[in-house]
């Protein structure tokens, strides 16, 4: 399949391209306070909000490395169950032509409680819609396949509420020093670039669980 082949190619070469300008973050009490304060107000949660480990991602639906990590992160949540909460924030990059439209499509679906379904289909079909001339028609089709009221979806995708949600996510990312995608934090600690892969994220979750157990 096209998506699979694109994923294999970009996993090796594309990842560093999109991560090269990532800003290094260091623990900061004000930063951690802002993160904790904002967690229950922004982003979309998968799993138990009070789980001992929280994996928080700032992602761009048109970013191939984000697409490569989408299903592995979903699998982590399934594997760790009540021990892991996943939070996703939209962080569309300006150099991606359709990234903001995709973020707004996800938020429009979220207004009908279908965020994660749209999240998954956008990443799964990334190789198709990211090159499409009429991206909105594809998003409408995806909305229909996940059980969204398409007429309402078309109204919501350009609404002030949807635009505000995307802007709020980006503002939070900016406060945290995020400049590119994927940017991932595990229990408020940034995951280093070399560890942004399925095995590395699993190791980060395991380390966080071990740290909790030792307290």
Beta-strand ranges (E) seen in the chain are 44-46, 53-59, 84-90, 183-186, 189-190
Cβ-based burial of 159 (10 A; exposed 0-12, middle 13-18, buried ≥19): middle
Domain CATH code at residue 116: 3.40.30.10
pLDDT digits (tens, 9 = 90+) for 120-159: 999 999 999 999 999 999 999 999 999 999 999 999 999 9
How does residue 214 score in pLDDT terms, banded at 50, 70 and 90?
A: confident
Bridge-based pairing of strands 53-59 and 44-46 is: unpaired
When divided into structural domains, the chain yields a total of 1
Q: What average pLDDT does the segment 22-27 reach?
A: 33
pLDDT score of 54 more than 90: yes
The parent domain of residue 13 ranges over 2-213
Measured in whole angstroms, the distance separating CA 4 from the mean position of its chain's CA atoms is 19
Query: In DSSP terms, which residues pair with 87 in a beta bridge?
Result: 45, 56
pLDDT of 215: 73
pLDDT level of residue 41 (50, 70, 90 thresholds)? low
Look at residue 213 in the predicted model and tell me its pLDDT: 83
């Amino acid at each position: 399949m096209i998506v699979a082949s694109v994923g294999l190619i970009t996993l090796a070469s594309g990842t560093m391209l999109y991560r090269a300008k990532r800003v290094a973050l260091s623990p900061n009490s004000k930063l951690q306070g802002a993160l904790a304060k904002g967690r229950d107000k922004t982003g979309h949660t998968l799993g138990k909000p009070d789980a001992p480990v929280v994996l928080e991602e700032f992602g761009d639906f048109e970013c191939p490395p984000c697409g490569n990590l989408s299903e592995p992160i979903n699998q982590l949540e399934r594997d760790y169950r009540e021990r892991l909460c996943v939070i996703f924030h939209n962080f569309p990059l300006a150099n991606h032509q359709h990234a903001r439209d995709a973020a707004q499509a996800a938020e429009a679906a979220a207004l009908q409680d279908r965020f994660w379904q749209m999240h998954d289909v956008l990443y799964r079909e990334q190789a198709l819609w990211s090159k499409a001339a009429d991206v909105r028609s594809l998003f409408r089709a995806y909305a229909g396949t996940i059980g969204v009221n398409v007429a309402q979806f078309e109204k919501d995708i350009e609404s002030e509420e949807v635009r505000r949600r995307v802007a709020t996510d980006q503002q939070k990312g900016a406060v945290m020093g995020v400049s590119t995608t994927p940017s991932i934090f595990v229990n408020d600690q940034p995951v280093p670039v070399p560890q942004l892969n399925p095995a590395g994220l699993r190791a980060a979750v395991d380390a966080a669980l071990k740290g909790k157990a030792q307290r």
